[in-house]
Structure formats: C-alpha cells, structure tokens
C-alpha cells in the first residue's frame, strides 16, 4: 500500500519517433507509506519536484514504469477520482483555486465532488481544526493572504485524504502564519497519523519537521533517507544544489572562527544554543 | 527543464535570416494587404493559380520549413472541406457524374441498425470515432445503390456539377493562398515588431482623435499575457481536478459548476495581474498620453522601398486592368 514508484519515467513531451525525449523525471524508484510519514522533497528549481507530486495523485501519468497508488496501478483507463480523494494535493498558492461565494461552500466543494455524506458538516469540522471557524460565512475574496491559504488547505483536508501533499505551502506567509501552518501539519501527522509530503526550499523546515528527506536533482532522486544523514554530508550545496539549515550555517561559522570542536549538526535553535554553550564551556576549562 | 505549457508562445515567429525577415514590418504589413486585395480581384483560374505559385516562391525564399505553413493550413481544413462541399453540390450546371439512390424499407432498416450499432459501440471502440462515422455514411449511401429490393420509399439522385467543381477549385486555391500569405507575415515578423509596425502605420489616426499608442499598448499587453493566462488556466484545472472535478465527464449541471470553478479563479487572477501590472508600469513612469520613444526604431531602407514600389506597381496594374474590363 501507499505510493510505489518503480522505474517510472516521465516527460512533458509526447513521445514521437525519431525524436530524443527530454525526460523530466528519470528512473524514479520510491516507496511512500500510507501512514505516519513526514517527507520533505527538496531540490533546485526545475529539478522535477512539482512533477513528482503531480504523479502521486495521478494528475500526470507516467510515460513508462509502474506506478501504484494505494494498491491501484495507474494506467490510462484507471478511474482516478477515488485516488484523488485519498491523496490530497495542495498546489503552490492554493488560494487561487477558491471560487465559491462563501468559505464554507468552498471548503465543502471537494467533499461534495467526492461524494462525502454530509460535506458541510465535514467542512465545519475541518474549519474548527484549522481555526478558521469564524470565517465560514464570509466571502473568500475579503480574506487576507494567510487566511486564504488556510481556507484552501482546508478545502483539500475536508476530503479526508490519507496522504496530504503540499507544494511549497509556506511561501509568502509571515513567520507566525508559517509556524502555525507547519505545527498543524505536524499535528495531522502525529494525531491523525496521516502521511504528509511537503515540497520546500526552506532547509529550516526540513530540519525541524521532516522525518525523511527526498532530494531531486535534474529529474532523478539523488538522496532518500533521514535528515541527519543528509546534513552530515559534506558539500551539500555543490552536490545537490541545497543550502544548510541556518543553525548549521551558524555553528559552522562559529567552528571556523573560534577554531573549537563543535558538533554542527544541530537543527533547532535550542539545540544549537546548548551546543555553543557546551563547546565554549569546554574551551574555557582548558 | 522544459515544460510544454511554457513553450506555448503566442505568435508563430520562426527565425531565419531571409530577406523577408529583414524587411521593415510596415513594408510587410502593407505588402500583405495589397497582395491579398489583388488575390481577390483576380477571377481567372490560371491567374489565381499563378498567384499561388508566386506565394510558393516567396515561401521558399523565406527559408522557413514548409511544415510550419502546413500547420496553419491544417487548422483551416474543416473550413475548406465545408466550402468544397457546398460549392460542389449546390452549384447547378453541366452534370459531370450523377449518383442515383433508392431508399427502400430494407436498406433503411439496415442503416438504422448500423447507426444503433455505431452508437452502442461508443464504450468499446473509443478511438477513430470520426472515421468510423464517415465509413458509416459512405456505407449507407452505397447500400442505397446496391440493395434495391423491398418497398421503395424514395428515389433521388445527387449530381456532381462541372461548374461547382470549378468554382470550388478556385475558392480553395484562393483561401490557401490567403492563409499562406498571412502566415508568411506572422512567421517572418515578431509579434512585437508587427505591433510597432501597426502603430506607426496608424499614427495619422491621432489627428482624428484616436489614441494609437494606447491601443497598441493594449494589444501588446494582451498578446504578452495570453501564454501566461493559458499556464494559469492549466494550473487551476489541475488544482480543481485534485478537488475531485473531472473535466472530461459529468452531467450538464456538473459541467456548469466545472466551468465556474475555472472561470472565477481566472477572473480573479486576471484582475490581480492587471492591477499589479498597472502599478508596475506607473512606477516606471508610464503616462498613457505622453509622447514615447520606442526601443525598436523602424528605419526604411532601400529594399523596403523597392519591395513596396514593386508591389504597388503590380497592384495598380491589376486594378487598371480590372477597371478596363479585361477578363482577369
């Protein structure tokens, strides 16, 4: 179960004879669990992140290879609606997909399409969870950017997907709204045991929230594993076009400047702080 | 990494280094207009055919692959087919071939049976529906010539007329030449240049109170945003598909919701973009009524002059001949 890619290739071009295809995704092998995973997909612009997640809820179909989503193999004639209900995809800037007159109606739109028994009740439930219950009767076009983002994500959550995919959910949000949103995703992951997959450029988000990291480069998966293993690698930037989290950058600079023995692989501000205290304490003893 | 959608650029400009590409857009615009008028002044089939071959020579001199022109012709095939159909069957005159059909109870029943079979096969045979339908039409007419037993319901005949064929041929060559000429203009001129050219040509209109520079700014902005909006529409479609909309299926009432779920976000996005663009333009000092200089200065060169003079002589010769009632 879950999502299984085996030897999947994808191209936006339609293959024709005599023409070399430029692959947007090449030889993807990937297993994603149905429950409990928190995956961050990172990679440089144009590395195929958005394409990969669109394959995950069958908005795009693989050119060749085998793609299995929640036990159903995806082929040309597969009925996709049930799959899209169970794998929710929130696009970048999801506020653009809102169109109904009231927030309530818009959140209920997805569940209604998927044939959920009482879409409005479900919408209210999700709104409560997302802390936007007071906005339900308002027109979406009177809301602020952060509120709209929450409404849009609620619209996907309302269909109660098992796997929730978000394409750069925190872009354009202020730090407070960002932390709130990520906290919510963490809650969904921990309490409701949903698999969360986020695309992000922010390595701080990766280090603080993700359990597993997938790195894409030029359409191929170059790293798939836990975040510790990733950040321990030297020359992340050169090899994968990635940045280190800010705390790691800071600790590295401290190590360089003061020439002391310090573990740079600390990802939260608290841990980094403790590490600096510890390292300087040891130094003073000498 | 290339995306299909972002490759979609409005306008078909194809870059080569032919003399046609180097011509001033104004020359090409005026030239194309005059040539098209000439084309419609011609009545003689031979002359129309030579106009067609003249256009072919122009196309060859543009060094653009023929496939690009064929693509624009392809879009017009339906129109051409309809024209041919009406010309051939509705022009009376000398009969060339005549087909006699007899509709009887038996072949009517067979035709109805085939039609039902065709409709029922919708789920089984999905591809090539149109050709199947064409085949059905041909077979049902053929049946009416061979199966003549049974109670006769109607006797009728369809004739192919000489005049019709002749007229159809003329019109088809004319339309094809017209399409080729206009594609030649759009393939050898960048949309932006074309726009500048039009602006310059229309400049005298400002004396009668038409604000040409504003109009041309509007046109160029509209052209610029077509690919952007197509991209946005693709994204909205996908986003709504994730919310369980199947744009391929659905009853009529569902279709309406589907369209609304695309249109409302598109309107919102367009308005937002318009406001943002207006601010950005104002921030860079755009004043609608002010006299503006252009980054692409159009200069009339000797070759432009020669081309235009040549086309004008050609055009006036045809007009003079026409006025003097020569059969051209």
Q: Do A54 and B238 touch (CB under 8 A)?
A: yes
Classify the phi-psi angles of B57: left when phi > 0, otherwise alpha if psi is within -120 to 50, otherwise beta: alpha
Q: Would you say residue B174 lies in a domain?
A: no
Residues B271 and B212 in one domain: yes
pLDDT, tens digit, 9 for 90 and up, residues A31-86: 999 888 999 999 888 889 999 999 998 899 998 889 999 988 888 888 888 889 99
Q: Would you say residue B321 lies in a domain?
A: no
Helix or strand (DSSP H, E) at B40: helix B25-41
| pTM (2 d.p.) | 0.70
Q: Do B236 and A156 touch (CB under 8 A)?
A: no
Strand partners, A196: A38, A164
B124–A contact, CB cutoff 8 A: no
Using a CB-CB cut-off of 8 Å, the residues of chain A touching B232 are: 96
**What average pLDDT does this structure show over A218-224?**
89
Using a CB-CB cut-off of 8 Å, the residues of chain A touching B239 are: 91, 94, 96-97
Nearest CA in chain A to B270: A96
What is the pLDDT, as a whole number, of residue B2? 36
B1–A contact, CB cutoff 8 A: yes
Nearest to A59 by CA among A30, A99, A92, A88: A88
**Cα three-residue angle A26-A31-A34, rounded to 5 degrees:** 135
**pLDDT over 60 at A240, yes or no:** yes
Q: Among B1, B232, B264, select the one facing A24 at the smallest CB separation.
A: B1
Residues B209 and B285 in one domain: yes
What is the pLDDT, as a whole number, of residue A214? 93
B261–A contact, CB cutoff 8 A: yes
Q: DSSP state, A58?
A: T
B60–A contact, CB cutoff 8 A: no
Q: Would you say residue B2 lies in a domain?
A: no
**What average pLDDT does this structure show over A259-285?**
80
CA dist., res. A226 & res. A220, Å (int): 18
Q: Give the number of domains in chain B.
A: 2
Q: DSSP state, B203?
A: G
CA dist., res. B63 & res. B66, Å (int): 9
**Residue spans of alpha helices (H) in A33-98:** 49-56, 81-86
Q: Would you say residue B169 lies in a domain?
A: no
A200 in Cβ contact with A227 (< 8 Å): no
User: Does the predicted interface ipTM exceed a cut of 0.90?
Assistant: no
Q: Would you say residue B207 lies in a domain?
A: yes
Residues B200 and B279 in one domain: yes
Q: Would you say residue B215 lies in a domain?
A: yes
Q: Would you say residue B266 lies in a domain?
A: yes
DSSP three-state, residue A43: strand
A166 in Cβ contact with A197 (< 8 Å): yes
CA dist., res. A215 & res. A230, Å (int): 9
Helix or strand (DSSP H, E) at A210: none
Task: Provide the domain limits for residue B105.
Answer: 99-159
What is the pLDDT, as a whole number, of residue A163? 93
The minimum CA-CA distance between A207 and chain B, rounded to whole Å, is 28
CA dist., res. A211 & res. A189, Å (int): 11
Q: Do A47 and B264 touch (CB under 8 A)?
A: no
Q: Among A47, A59, A218, select the one facing B242 at the smallest CB separation.
A: A59
Nearest CA in chain B to A24: B1
Using a CB-CB cut-off of 8 Å, the residues of chain A touching B243 are: 97, 109-110, 113, 155-156, 159
What is the pLDDT, as a whole number, of residue B44? 85
Residues B197 and B123 in one domain: no
Residues B217 and B149 in one domain: no
Nearest to A197 by CA among A155, A158, A167: A167
CA dist., res. A43 & res. A22, Å (int): 19
Pairing of strands A38-43, B95-104: unpaired
Query: Among 3.40.50.300, 3.30.43.10, 3.30.1490.100, 2.60.40.1180, what is the CATH number of A34-58+78-235?
Result: 3.40.50.300
Q: Which residue has the higher pLDDT, A176 or B11?
A: A176
CA dist., res. B254 & res. B248, Å (int): 11
Size of interface A-B (CB pairs under 8 A): 68
Q: Which residue has the higher pLDDT, A238 or B44?
A: B44
Q: DSSP state, A5?
A: E
Domain end: B159, B180, B200, which one?
B159
Residues B202 and B292 in one domain: yes
Pairing of strands A72-73, B152-161: unpaired
Nearest CA in chain A to B244: A113
Mean pLDDT highest for which of A164-173, A240-249, B82-91, B294-303? A164-173
Nearest to A70 by CA among A38, A35, A26, A112: A35
pLDDT, tens digit, 9 for 90 and up, residues A119-129: 899 999 999 98
- The residue length of chain B stands at 328
**pLDDT over 80 at A161, yes or no:** yes
A11–B contact, CB cutoff 8 A: no
CA dist., res. A46 & res. A22, Å (int): 13
CA dist., res. B194 & res. A167, Å (int): 40
CA dist., res. A234 & res. A248, Å (int): 12
Task: Give Rg (Cα) of chain B.
Answer: 27
CA dist., res. B184 & res. B59, Å (int): 7
Residues B235 and B278 in one domain: yes
Residues B276 and B233 in one domain: yes
Q: Would you say residue B208 lies in a domain?
A: yes
Q: Do B261 and A99 touch (CB under 8 A)?
A: yes
- Number of helices and strands in chain A (H, E): 11, 10
Chain region(s) in chain A for CATH 3.40.50.300: 34-58+78-235
**Consecutive sets of 10 residues in chain B, 328 residues long: mean pLDDT of each?**
40 82 91 92 88 92 87 83 80 74 84 87 75 86 80 78 82 91 89 84 85 84 85 89 80 82 90 92 87 75 90 90 79
B211–A contact, CB cutoff 8 A: no
């Amino acid at each position: 179960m879950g999502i299984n890619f085996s030897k999947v290739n994808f191209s936006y071009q339609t293959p024709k004879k005599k023409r070399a295809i430029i692959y947007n995704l090449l030889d993807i092998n990937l297993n994603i669990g149905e429950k409990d995973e928190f995956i961050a997909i990172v990679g440089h612009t144009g590395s195929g992140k958005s394409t990969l997640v669109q394959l995950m809820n069958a908005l795009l179909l693989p050119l060749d290879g085998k793609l299995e989503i929640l036990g159903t193999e995806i082929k040309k004639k597969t009925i996709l609606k049930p799959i899209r209900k169970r794998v929710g995809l929130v696009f970048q800037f999801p506020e653009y997909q809102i169109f109904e007159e009231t927030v309530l109606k818009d959140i209920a739109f997805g569940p209604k399409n998927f044939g959920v028994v009482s879409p409005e009740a479900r919408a209210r439930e999700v709104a409560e969870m997302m802390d936007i219950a007071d906005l339900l009767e308002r027109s979406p076009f009177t809301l602020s950017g952060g509120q709209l983002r929450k409404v849009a994500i609620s619209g996907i959550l309302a269909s109660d997907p098992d796997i929730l995919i978000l394409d750069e959910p925190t872009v354009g949000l202020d730090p407070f709204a960002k932390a709130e949103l990520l906290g919510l995703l963490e809650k969904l992951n921990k309490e409701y045991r949903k698999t969360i997959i986020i695309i992000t450029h922010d390595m701080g988000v990766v280090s603080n929230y993700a359990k597993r990291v997938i790195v894409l480069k030029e359409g191929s998966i170059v790293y798939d594993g836990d975040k510790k293993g990733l950040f321990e690698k030297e020359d992340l930037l050169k090899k994968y076009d990635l940045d280190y989290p800010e705390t790691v950058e800071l600790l590295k600079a401290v190590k360089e400047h003061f020439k002391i023995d310090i573990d740079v692989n600390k990802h939260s501000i608290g841990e980094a702080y403790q590490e600096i205290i510890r390292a300087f304490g040891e130094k003073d003893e000498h | 990494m290339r995306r299909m959608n972002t490759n979609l650029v409005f306008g078909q400009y194809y870059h080569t280094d032919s003399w046609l590409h180097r011509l001033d857009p104004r020359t090409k615009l005026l030239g194309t207009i005059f040539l098209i008028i000439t084309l419609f002044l011609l009545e003689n089939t031979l002359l129309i055919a030579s106009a067609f071959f003249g256009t072919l020579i122009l196309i060859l001199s543009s060094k653009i692959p023929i496939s690009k022109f064929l693509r624009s012709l392809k879009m017009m095939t339906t129109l051409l087919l309809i024209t041919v159909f009406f010309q051939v069957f509705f022009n009376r005159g000398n009969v060339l071939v005549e087909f006699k059909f007899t509709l009887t109870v038996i072949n009517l029943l067979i035709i109805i049976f085939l039609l039902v079979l065709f409709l029922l096969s919708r789920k089984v045979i999905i591809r090539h529906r149109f050709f199947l339908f064409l085949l059905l039409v041909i077979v049902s007419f053929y049946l009416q010539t061979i199966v003549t037993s049974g109670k006769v319901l109607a006797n009728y005949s369809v004739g192919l007329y000489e005049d019709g064929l002749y007229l159809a041929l003329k019109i088809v060559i004319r339309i094809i030449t017209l399409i080729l000429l206009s594609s030649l203009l759009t393939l050898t001129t960048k949309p932006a240049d074309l726009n500048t050219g039009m602006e310059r040509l229309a400049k005298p209109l400002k004396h009668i109170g038409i604000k040409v520079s504003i109009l041309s700014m509007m046109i160029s902005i509209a052209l610029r945003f077509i690919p952007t909006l197509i991209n946005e529409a693709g994204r909205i479609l996908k986003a709504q598909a994730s919310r369980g909309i199947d744009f391929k299926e659905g009853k009529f009432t569902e279709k309406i919701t589907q369209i609304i779920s695309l249109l409302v976000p598109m309107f919102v996005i367009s308005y937002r973009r318009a406001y943002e663009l207006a601010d950005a333009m104002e921030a860079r000092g755009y004043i609608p009524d002010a006299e503006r200089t252009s980054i692409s200065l159009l200069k009339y060169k000797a070759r432009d002059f020669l081309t235009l003079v040549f086309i004008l002589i050609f055009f006036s010769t045809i007009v003079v001949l026409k006025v003097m009632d020569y059969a051209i």
